[in-house]
Amino acid sequence: MAYQYKTNPYEHQRQALIKGADKHLYAYFMEMGTGKTKVSIDNACYLYKENKINVVLVVAPNSVYRNWQDEINTHSPVDTAIHIHKVNKKFVRESNKLTFFLINIEAFSRTSGIKAVQDIIDEYHDTMMVIVDEATTIKNRSAKRTKALTKICKPIAFKRILTGSPVTKSPLDLFSQCNFLNPELLGYSNYYAFRARFCVMKTIGVGGTGRQISLPLYFHNLDELEKKLKSFSFRVKKKECLDLPDKVYTKRYVDLKGDQKQAYDSLKLYARTIFEDQEASYTNKLTEIIKLHQVCCGYVVSDEGVKKELSNPKLDELINIIEETDGKIIIWANYVHSLETIIKLLQDKYGSMSVVSIYGDVPVEARSSAVKNFQENKNVRFFVGNPVTGGYGLNLTKASTVIYYSNSYDLEVRQQSEDRAHRIGQKNNVTYIDLIVRNTIDEFIIKALNKKIKISAQTLGEEVLEFL
């Protein structure tokens, strides 16, 4: 195909563009760090040069969508105009320019966000492309934003979905993402027909309520599913296409200590009674797990919401790791209390200018400057963040050490946060260190993540592993 790149592609990026360039519906299932954003920008520019589109709608998570402005300016070989939702008051397509409209996926839960996009689609759908970045944000078919986005984007001529991990919990994750492109791509416009083909369900009672729910028992016909996916997608993993340094995984264990152990043992006894209670709700059980996890992180929250500090060997071990490590470090933690504790500890020990952070309380406008400072300022050694907020779309390649002070159960969150450092531009091996409190819920979470990784690999046909 004839296309003049602005920035030279890797061979896998070139192949991705060739295979998807002219398709009306296509999925770039490219592992984090392989440059799927560049591919989709080149795809849009190619279609613009072919006089097939003149407007591009980019939908991405809140922590990511404004990063697209820099990516477009870096990679687009054509003149562009960029409008950002709630920054630019009114969308106006500029003649003789490929016009982008950037909006966060969260906006589709609100009437104002839906209307802003609907007005653009009504006018330009025939000459328009929509790109959904991190498409697993629409994997929940029941979510308002999924329904709204799928419905209003239906008439758009060209559609692209981007994600490195289309399957995070089960193959059922694929339905909504592919349904956004076209319900017929998987051969099943009905979710329950799709589920019946690829999943065997089991029905269980909800303790004493008389209610029953269906849960996946195991998956089958996955070869068929893989074949269908290949017909409209490009899949690549970093190890297949990039000469990137290795990922190195290690664990650092600590033991419960003093009042922390007392609190954990007490909560554990109570949690056991909850889990043995057939009438206990899922919410109640999850609440107990979270409480145990918080104790592992050095604090406990009373029923009245009062936080009490506990002994916390994780903090001591965190400092030990830092003292053993050269260079810049990323530290991920799940809870705001943990993040604030870590930030204060690092600022007190290494100076107030040594730390930047991204989590829920950090304004969106400040996040890009935090990344820039971490990448460019030699005095900034630590990036501290919540992986749910800061684990998407950020380039943190100046770090070669990543510490997980605590983990979540979500495979996608873990994979995304890992690849903030392990991506194009990284020159060193990246070491991932899990801080784990021995014989606690911390270990259970690691096992849960490992189980989900195996499910993902099986579904994508990359490695047939036993479903656990």
Q: Which residue, of 204, 237, 270, is where some domain finishes? A: 237
How large a percentage of the chain has pLDDT more than 70?
A: 94
pLDDT tens for each residue of 216-271: 888 999 999 999 999 999 999 888 887 888 888 988 999 999 999 999 999 988 88
- Write down the pLDDT at residue 54: 97
- Write down the pLDDT at residue 389: 81
pLDDT tens for each residue of 2-46: 899 999 999 999 999 999 999 999 999 998 778 899 999 999 999
Asked, for residue 302, whether it belongs to a domain, the answer is no
Does the pLDDT of residue 154 top 90, yes or no? Answer: yes
219 and 320, same domain (yes or no)? no
Asked, for residue 209, whether it belongs to a domain, the answer is yes
43 and 93, same domain (yes or no)? yes
Range of the domain at 207: 11-237
SS3 445: helix
In angstroms, rounded to a whole number, what is the distance separating the alpha carbons of residues 31 and 35?
8
- Write down the pLDDT at residue 462: 47
pLDDT tens for each residue of 397-424: 999 999 999 998 788 888 889 989 998 8
Q: How confident is the model at residue 195 (pLDDT cuts 50, 70, 90)?
A: very high
Indicate the range of 105-109, 190-194, 393-397, 459-463 predicted with least confidence. 459-463
Q: Is the dihedral of CA 18, 164, 150, 49 positive or negative?
A: negative
Asked, for residue 453, whether it belongs to a domain, the answer is yes
Q: Which residue, of 206, 237, 268, is where some domain finishes? A: 237
For 335, phi then psi, to 5°, come to -110, 145
- Across the chain, mean pLDDT equals 89
- Provide the domain count of the chain: 2
Q: How confident is the model at residue 449 (pLDDT cuts 50, 70, 90)?
A: confident
- Write down the pLDDT at residue 390: 73
Does the pLDDT of residue 285 top 70, yes or no? Answer: yes
- Write down the pLDDT at residue 70: 85
For 203, phi then psi, to 5°, come to -110, 130
Alpha helices in 182-257 (DSSP H): 191-198, 222-230, 238-241
Asked, for residue 133, whether it belongs to a domain, the answer is yes
Q: Is the dihedral of CA 181, 183, 186, 192 positive or negative?
A: positive
**Helix (H) and strand (E) counts in the chain:** 17, 17
- Average pLDDT over every residue of 378-389: 93
Does the pLDDT of residue 464 top 60, yes or no? Answer: no
| CATH number of the domain encompassing residue 86 | 3.40.50.10810
222 and 356, same domain (yes or no)? no
Q: Is the dihedral of CA 23, 24, 27, 32 positive or negative?
A: positive
- Average pLDDT over every residue of 106-128: 94
In angstroms, rounded to a whole number, what is the distance separating the alpha carbons of residues 134 and 156?
19
76 and 18, same domain (yes or no)? yes
- Average pLDDT over every residue of 66-75: 88
- Average pLDDT over every residue of 309-332: 93
Asked, for residue 287, whether it belongs to a domain, the answer is no
| CATH number of the domain encompassing residue 414 | 3.40.50.300
Asked, for residue 232, whether it belongs to a domain, the answer is yes
Tokens describing residue 134? 């991190």
DSSP per position, 132-167 = EESGGGG--TTSHHHHHHHHHTTT-SEEEEE-S-S-
- Write down the pLDDT at residue 457: 58
Q: Which of the residue ranges 177-186, 265-274, 446-455 has the most confident prediction, judged by mean pLDDT?
A: 177-186
In angstroms, rounded to a whole number, what is the distance separating the alpha carbons of residues 35 and 315?
35
End-to-end CA distance of the chain: 44
320 and 220, same domain (yes or no)? no
- Average pLDDT over every residue of 125-152: 95
- The H or E element that residue 444 is part of is helix 441-459
404 and 436, same domain (yes or no)? yes
The neighbour count for residue 92, using CB atoms within 10 Å, is 10
Does the pLDDT of residue 460 top 70, yes or no? Answer: no
Report yes or no: 7 and 38 within 8 Å, Cβ to Cβ. Answer: yes
HEC per residue, 277-316: CCCCCHHHHHHHHHHHHHHHCCEEECCCCCEEECCCHHHH
- Average pLDDT over every residue of 166-186: 91
Q: Which residue, of 210, 237, 264, is where some domain finishes? A: 237
Angle between helices 313-324 and 336-350 (to 10 degrees): 50
For 448, phi then psi, to 5°, come to -65, -40
Tokens describing residue 260? 């922390």
172 and 251, same domain (yes or no)? no
CA dist 111 → 116, 139, 148, 150, 154 (Å) = 9, 21, 10, 15, 18
345 and 415, same domain (yes or no)? yes
Asked, for residue 466, whether it belongs to a domain, the answer is no
190 and 251, same domain (yes or no)? no
Q: Are strands 299-301 and 307-309 parallel, antiparallel or unpaired?
A: antiparallel
DSSP per position, 34-55 = S-HHHHHHHHHHHHHHTTS-SE
Q: Which of the residue ranges 288-302, 385-399, 442-456 has the most confident prediction, judged by mean pLDDT?
A: 288-302
Does the pLDDT of residue 361 top 80, yes or no? Answer: no
Asked, for residue 86, whether it belongs to a domain, the answer is yes
CA dist 54 → 95, 105, 373 (Å) = 9, 22, 35
Does the pLDDT of residue 125 top 70, yes or no? Answer: yes
Tokens describing residue 289? 């797990």
399 and 367, same domain (yes or no)? yes
251 and 173, same domain (yes or no)? no
Report yes or no: 181 and 153 within 8 Å, Cβ to Cβ. Answer: no
Q: Which of the residue ranges 37-51, 180-194, 279-293 has the most confident prediction, judged by mean pLDDT?
A: 37-51
Q: What angle do CA 404, 406, 412 make, to 5 degrees?
A: 75
216 and 316, same domain (yes or no)? no
Chain centroid, CA 366 distance in Å: 20
